[in-house]
Structure 1
Amino acid sequence: MSAVILYGTETGTGELVADAIADVLAADHDPSVYDMAEFAVEDLDANDFLVVVCSTYGEGELPSSALPFADELDEEKPDLAGLRFAVFGMGDTVYGDTYNKGGEIMAAKLTELGAVQVGEHFRHDASSAVKPAKAAEEWAQSLPALIEQD
Structure 2
Amino acid sequence: MQISILVGTMTGTAELVAGDVQKALEDKGHSVEVLLMDTLKADVFERPGTFLICTSTYGQGDVPDNARDFIADLQAVKPDLTGKLVGIIGLGDTTYQDTFNQGGAQFEKGLRALNATIVGERMQHNASSGTLPEEDGVAWALAWAEQVEPLAKAA
TM-score, normalized by the shorter chain, greater than 0.5: yes
Q: How does 1:1-150 map to 2 (within 5 A)?
A: 1-27=1-27, 28-45=29-46, 47-150=48-151
Q: Distance in 2 between matches of 1:24 and 1:85?
A: 18
* Structure 1 residue ranges, 4+ long, deviating more than 3 angstroms after superposition: none
Q: Distance in 1 between matches of 2:70 and 2:30?
A: 23
Q: Distance in 2 between matches of 1:44 and 1:37?
A: 15
Q: Which runs of 5+ in 2 are unaligned?
A: none
Q: What's the offset of the Cα at 1:139?
A: 1.1
Amino acid of the structure 1 residue aligned with 2:37: M
Q: What's the offset of the Cα at 1:46?
A: 7.0
Amino acid of the structure 1 residue aligned with 2:123: F
8 Å contact from structure 2 (residues 4, 50) kept in 1: yes
8 Å contact from structure 1 (residues 45, 83) kept in 2: no
Q: Distance in 1 between matches of 2:46 and 2:53?
A: 14
Output one character per residue of 1:6-30: Cα deviation in whole Å (capped at 9) or x when no partner.
0101111010011111111113221
Q: 1:45 to 1:29 in 2, by over 3 A?
A: farther
Amino acid of the structure 1 residue aligned with 2:8: G
8 Å contact from structure 2 (residues 87, 118) kept in 1: yes
Q: Which runs of 5+ in 1 are unaligned?
A: none
Using the size of structure 2 for normalisation, the TM-score is 0.92
Residue aligned with 2:46, SS = coil
Q: What's the offset of the Cα at 1:37?
A: 1.4
Using the size of structure 1 for normalisation, the TM-score is 0.95
Output one character per residue of 1:85-134: Cα deviation in whole Å (capped at 9) or x when no partner.
01110110011121000000011111100101011211000111111111
8 Å contact from structure 1 (residues 54, 102) kept in 2: yes
Q: Distance in 1 between matches of 2:76 and 2:145?
A: 32
User: RMSD of aligned C-alpha atoms?
Assistant: 1.3
* Number of matched pairs: 150
Amino acid of the structure 1 residue aligned with 2:102: K
